[in-house]
Amino acid sequence: MRLPELFKTQPFVLSIEIFPPKTTDGDAALRKNLQTLIQHDPSFISCTYGAGGSTQDRTLHWCREIQQDFHRPAMTHFTCVGSTREQLLSWLDLAAAEGIQNVMALRGDAPAGQEAFKAVEGGLSNANELVELIRKHHPNMGIGVAGYPEKHQEAASMDIDIENLKRKVDAGADAIFTQLFFVNDNFFTFRDRCVELEIQIPIVPGIMPITDFARIKRITSMCGTVFPEALATRLEAVQDDPQAQFEIGVEHAIQQCEELRAAGVPGIHFYALNKSEACQKILNSIQP
The pLDDT, as a whole number, for residue 82 is 78
**Domains parsed from the chain with CATH numbers:** 3-286 (3.20.20.220)
Distance CA 95, CA 91 (A): 6
Give 109's Cβ-side CA count (13 Å radius).
13
* Residue of 17, 129, 132, 150 marked catalytic: 17
Distance CA 45, CA 75 (A): 6
Question: Per-residue pLDDT tens for 218-274?
Answer: 988 888 899 999 999 999 999 999 999 999 999 999 999 999 999 999 999 999 999
Residuewise pLDDT in 10s, the chain (288 residues): 999 999 999 999 999 999 999 999 999 999 999 999 999 999 999 999 765 555 678 999 999 999 999 999 999 999 888 788 999 999 999 999 999 999 999 987 766 666 667 777 877 878 999 999 999 999 999 999 999 999 998 899 999 999 999 999 999 999 999 999 999 999 999 999 999 999 999 999 999 999 999 999 898 888 889 999 999 999 999 999 999 999 999 999 999 999 999 999 999 999 999 999 999 999 999 986
List CB contacts of 197: < 8 A, sequence separation 6 or more: 162, 163, 166
The pLDDT, as a whole number, for residue 221 is 85
17 catalytic per annotation: yes
The pLDDT, as a whole number, for residue 81 is 83
Q: Are 164 and 208 in contact (CB under 8 A)?
A: no
One-character DSSP codes across 142-172? EEEEEE-TT--TT-SSHHHHHHHHHHHHHHT
Question: Per-residue pLDDT tens for 165-188?
Answer: 999 999 999 999 999 999 999 999
List CB contacts of 64: < 8 A, sequence separation 6 or more: 74, 98, 99
